[in-house]
Every structure is written in C-alpha cells, then in structure tokens.
Chain A
C-alpha cells in the first residue's frame, strides 16, 4: 500500500475545479490510510470531570463531557482525535473487563437518588469501533466514588467512595450489567488528625476530611485479598471477598502516619510488596505483604525534590512492566516522580519530571511500556512522555487539549 503518498505531503488546496477532483482522490486514499493506521494504532478511553450544575465550583466540576476515545500513534505515543463515546456524569475512574467487552465507570457525583449518593455505570464495548452502549446504572453506596476495579473472579465490581467514606461490592450479571450491591463497608471510629507530622512546609491541612475517605480498592496479584486505602482515617484495610455472598471479610487494618492520607497503592508483580502513596505528606511507604498483613519496611521517602518548600498533594502511583520503576504524580509541585525499585523491593527516588501543566490527576503507561501520560486535570490537557532508558520520562512535545481529564485506559492491548 502506497502509504508514503499521504498524508504528510499535502500542499494547501482550494475547493475548485481540478483541485476538487484531486481532493476526492486524496480523500479516498486518506480513508484507506486511516483504516490501515487504525490496525496498528492503539485506542484509549479517557474519563473526564463534567460540569456539576448543582455546584459549578465543586472540585469535581469540570469541562469534560464524559468518556472520550482517542487514537494513539504507536511511534510518537501522541493521542489525538478525541471523540465523546459516552455522555455520563464525571466518569473519573474507569475499568475494562478482562476480555475488554465491558467498561465500568464511577460517576463522581453526590446527586444520585434520594441518598445524594454517587453511581456506577456499566457499558458494553463495541471493540471494532470503540463505541460504548450504556447497560445500566446503580448507586455506588456513598457519594463521590473515585475508584473502581474488578475482582479476579470477574463476578464483582469493587468501588471506593471518597466523601461517602465507603467501599462497595457490586455483583455483575452474565450480560455485563450491574446486578446489585452485595456489601457496603463503611468504617467508623475517631477521626484522624488534620496534618501529618512529616508533611512538607506549607501544607495547611484544612481541606482534610473529617471521616473515612475511600480512595482506592484493588485485588492483590494473588487474587486472594482485596486492599482498600482510607485517605480520611489513614488506614489500609485488607479483606477477603467471599465470592459466593459478595461480602468483604476483614483480615487486617494497618495504620499510616496520622494525617498521611494513604491514597493510591501498587503491588510488586510477585505480590510480596505493597507501595503506598500518601496524599497529604507526599511520602511513599513500602510494606511487605504476607498472609494478608502489611509490615512496613524501612522509612517512608518523599516524592518531592530535596529542599522543596510549599504545598503538594500526591495522586497516582503506577508500577512499570519490568517492576523496576514506580511512577507517582505530585500535584502543585506538578511532576511525575520516578522511583527505582531494588531487588529487595526497597525504593529510592530517581527524578522529578515536570508535567507541563496543572494538577496531574492520574498517570497511565501504554501497553508497549514506551510512553507515560500525565492527565492534567486543571491544565486541561493530556501530556505525552517517552520513558527513557533509565526509566525517567522525557517530554515528547505533545499536548492534547481536553476538558478536565481524570483517567486513561487503553482499549487495545
């Protein structure tokens, strides 16, 4: 196929006479090229914060319109051509089923139903064109749900509710739709302190919550346990999920430094270590994970450059395919922090890379492991970085302007 003819060498054209004829030829050829490209370009979904008409000043009120599909150039890593595939309220976290036939999104709202709850929406994925068909919507068990994952059995969705301070288990039907909530865990107890003793200078802490804040819920790599981070009461829960009843049974609770705000965590690929990113003190803590229990290893380390003074909150934490690097996001210091992981599971901070815009809400690594994306919620863009030989991201020069991006998931593996 004569791909070389097009589309990079086009001259400016006018829509008249012969030029029009040529244009038709070009358009036909271009269509062919696009479909050929589509065969090797990866596609990704991006969830965004949408406008909250009831409270336009709310942190979760954004400029997005729902879930977008983008094409990702496999050579440059650049995403392009965003189009809305689902108009849904603030889908700030999304997850695909293992077979990529279904997509589940939280709706990070506090307006669903009589309880002013959040919701979860199920979609069927048309894998040929990436279109989404809404299946149904269910109460998320608490307001402002911000994270969703799928149990390894494939039978249950796991949801963390931030403001509602709850973790919900939802049973899935065979057709991918949401059946019913089988459990809602709502931790109780005394509130935590506002600020952590080891926080950066100029962390004010007055935005800290008063109760539990479910920020993440995820199965461990062995599939035996479910872990939940409570950024409000500074706890990490470990449960077992009874796949017959859909109930969470508590195995252990680990306390972080009071005020630390444990937010996102990742496991080493062998499941023996859990790395916990702490939102409020910008620290990373390493835990050994065995028999459903966490044991801290070494001192927590900072996600920030030496000597940093100012305000910062961390958001995302990822591990790369090799397991040798962790990537965290710093908000207001606005960087991607790279950590090196040693053979014994211990971590050191390697570099901080500027995100090129405000407020990185999350990070995504593409399936090839070559690129990492910063979803800059307040900068209203997605910025592409190439992962360098030493694991440190390098800015590619590519920006994609988008309203309030929150999460990105690749459809093509």
Chain B
C-alpha cells in the first residue's frame, strides 16, 4: 500500500514535470521561400507558405509539430527581439510598392503559444532583402537588401512595429569581377559584372559598431549607428579578394576577431577587429575538401554559441565545414559533414550548443545533428520535411 502511494506520487510528480517540460520545451521559427508568381526563376521562389513553428525535443534535438504561424511572402531572414516579444522578417521579394522593392514585416509573439500577430510591413529600402538583425541598442532593425544592393535602418516603435527607414545606404562604384582567382575548378560564375549585393548586417559584440557584407562589390563595411537619428556613419571599408563575394561573418566571443566566408571562393578569412577596422590575420582557408573540383558556394557562417567553433555551409558540395578556434582566434578545419540533403541555405545552432540544424533548400528538409565534444556535428538520423526552408531561429 505504501509502495502504491509512492508510485502514485511519482506518477503525479512525473506528470507535473511533464507538463513543466512541455511548457519550457524549446521551439523554433522556420522561415521559408514562398511561390513567386511573377518570376518563377527567382532564387527565392519556393513552395513554403511563410513562417512555421516547430517543437524541439530537448533530448534528441528532433523537430516535430510543424505548423504555419504566419502566412507571409518569402520570410528568408528572421530576428527575434531580446525579450522574445517581437519577431521581424524580411520578405525576399522584388514586388513591394511602386519601387518593386522588398519589405520587412513586424510580428508580436504570443509568449505562451508562440503564435504570431502581424503588426505592420514597411518597404525594406531595396529589392530582395535577405538578412535582418536587431541593433545592440534594441531600438533599430537592420536589413541587407541583396538585389537592391543596400542596407536599411528602421526604428522600432514602443509597440514593436516598425517606422519607415531612417537610413538607406546604397554603395556605388564600378561593378566587380565575376569570380575569384582561388575559386574551385568547375565553379561557374552566375553573375558577371555584379553591382552591390547586401548580404548581411549585424552589430559587433561591443555594440559600438555595425558591420555589413557586400557580396557584389566584395566590400566589408563598418559603420557606427547614430541612435538619435538612426543614420549609419561609415568608419571603414575593407576590400575582400575580388570576386570572393563576402557573404556572412561572425565574431569571436570577445569581439576581437571577425570570421568572413566568401560565397564564390568558398574560403574563410580571419580578420582582427579593433577600433572599427579589420586587419587580415593569416591566409584564407578553403571550406571544401582538399582537391575539390566542381560547383560550390558558401552560404551561412556561424560562430558556435560557446565560441569554440566556426561552422559554414557548402552548397554544391552539400556539407558543413567545422573549424576549431585556437586561443589566438585562428581557425583550423576539423571536418566536413554531409548535410543529408541538397543546397544548405542556412544553419542554426541551439543556444545550449547541443544541436545543429541544416536547412536544405532544394531537398525541402531540415536535418538534425548532435554537436560532439570537439564541435563536429554528427547526424542523428532525424529529418523534418519543410518546404523550401531558408532560415531558423531556436527559441529556448
């Protein structure tokens, strides 16, 4: 009798824990490419329907319970406010308003259910916006426009909605070379005579600077953001290798080192970062296997939340490159892991540094990897079918 009572107590306790677990389980927002009826050949034409929410199993990392929480047009960049109350999405289109621009949409997040309520949509300041982040001050949303070749700043209103752009920076200058001298053999330049292509914009860890990648003219911009006026003030411009297409970057935890991946040469370049200026450290290293020949283009670069590894995606080769970071910040390539699908558009790592997710655009799935002690991802055998996944953020 005593043991039965104990069993019941355990069962009740387990049920309570279960309920508690359910309430605290991690979730992920997944942005997808949606049909582009005007330009079916657009990169951003996909079969998704907008922003989805999925549940994450804390033990296995597996994703389940996929449900659409916002019907939206090609939300390929997502950023969550620090208090998790608001979500911002780029609409990677070239059909917004009379200027055939892209747009940015603000959402209020239901803390309990994760549901999204649309607040407003504004012109992104250029066509094909592909990246969004929130400035360190928490007061501005920053957007990189790929096709429009611009960077735009949007004030966040107290209710979380967005004001019209307070600044749009559109670099000029001559067009650049179509490919880099150190690109793999078998890489076919897709865009000869490129103009600017804004591919990423984000604050540095100190919050003093804003960095932007121009994958068209091969420049890395450093600005300060005037938080009174919402204007970007240029501090420096660093020339990457011509034709390398700097696409994504990440900072070391101390903010002293910046890691830059080149889309067209698929190489990782390390820069020292001080006083808003970049100084290359050592030689760039290939994110591909030795002797690789064929098409390859890097997409996402991420520094792991624990600061020990850099991950980058190889489209074409369909792998994740893992780099180990030495105390001096210099990376060495550890491994290449197949993504278990085709065309990794993006990567996500949970804040606990336990799981890595590969968003495989053309195979319409997300593959789940467990991060091993040395940082190298190991496939768990778990996929989740998602149409044209482009971006994912894990909400702990």
Q: Which residues of chain A are within 8 angstroms of B342 by Cβ–Cβ distance?
A: 331-334, 358-359
The reply on B295 being an interface residue by CB < 8 A is yes
Q: A204-B47, A358-B342, A403-B186 are in contact. Are A380 and B363 (CB under 8 A)?
A: no
- A201 to B386 Cα, complex, angstroms: 9
User: Which residue of chain B is the closest to A354 with respect to CB atoms?
Assistant: B338
Cβ contact within 8 Å between A307 and B383:
yes
Cβ contact within 8 Å between A358 and B186:
no
Q: A201-B385, A354-B338 are in contact. Are A401 and B185 (CB under 8 A)?
A: yes
Q: A311-B365, A358-B295 are in contact. Are A380 and B188 (CB under 8 A)?
A: yes
The reply on A57 being an interface residue by CB < 8 A is yes
The reply on A285 being an interface residue by CB < 8 A is no
A399 touches which one: B293, B341, B384, B387 (CB < 8 A)? Answer: B293
Cβ contact within 8 Å between B316 and A309:
no
Cβ contact within 8 Å between A379 and B295:
yes
Interface of A, helix, strand, loop or mixed by DSSP: loop
Cβ contact within 8 Å between B387 and A358:
no
Cβ contact within 8 Å between A381 and B364:
no
Cβ contact within 8 Å between B382 and A307:
yes
Q: Which residues of chain B are within 8 angstroms of A398 by Cβ–Cβ distance?
A: 291
Cβ contact within 8 Å between A307 and B185:
no
- A358 to B360 Cα, complex, angstroms: 12
Cβ contact within 8 Å between B188 and A399:
no
Cβ contact within 8 Å between B387 and A202:
yes
Cβ contact within 8 Å between A379 and B317:
yes
Q: Shortest beta-carbon distance, B341 to chain A, in Å? A: 6
Cβ contact within 8 Å between A380 and B295:
yes
Residue-wise, chain A 322-358 has the 8 Å CB interface mask toward B (1 for contact) of: 0000000001111000000000000000000010111
Number of A-B contacts (CB under 8 A): 104
Q: Which residues of chain A are within 8 angstroms of B381 by Cβ–Cβ distance?
A: 305-307
The reply on A271 being an interface residue by CB < 8 A is no
The reply on B138 being an interface residue by CB < 8 A is no
Cβ contact within 8 Å between B289 and A397:
yes
- A333 to B185 Cα, complex, angstroms: 24
Q: Which residues of chain A are within 8 angstroms of B294 by Cβ–Cβ distance?
A: 357, 376, 379-381, 383, 399, 401
Cβ contact within 8 Å between B365 and A379:
no
Q: Shortest beta-carbon distance, A83 to chain B, in Å? A: 15
Residue-wise, chain B 139-164 has the 8 Å CB interface mask toward A (1 for contact) of: 00000000000000000000000000
Q: Which residues of chain A are within 8 angstroms of B188 by Cβ–Cβ distance?
A: 63, 380, 403
Q: Given known contacts A332-B342, A399-B291, what 19 new A-B pairs fall within 8 Å (CB)?
A: A202-B386, A309-B385, A310-B365, A312-B363, A332-B341, A332-B364, A356-B317, A357-B294, A357-B317, A357-B318, A358-B342, A358-B343, A358-B362, A378-B295, A380-B294, A381-B294, A397-B290, A398-B291, A400-B293
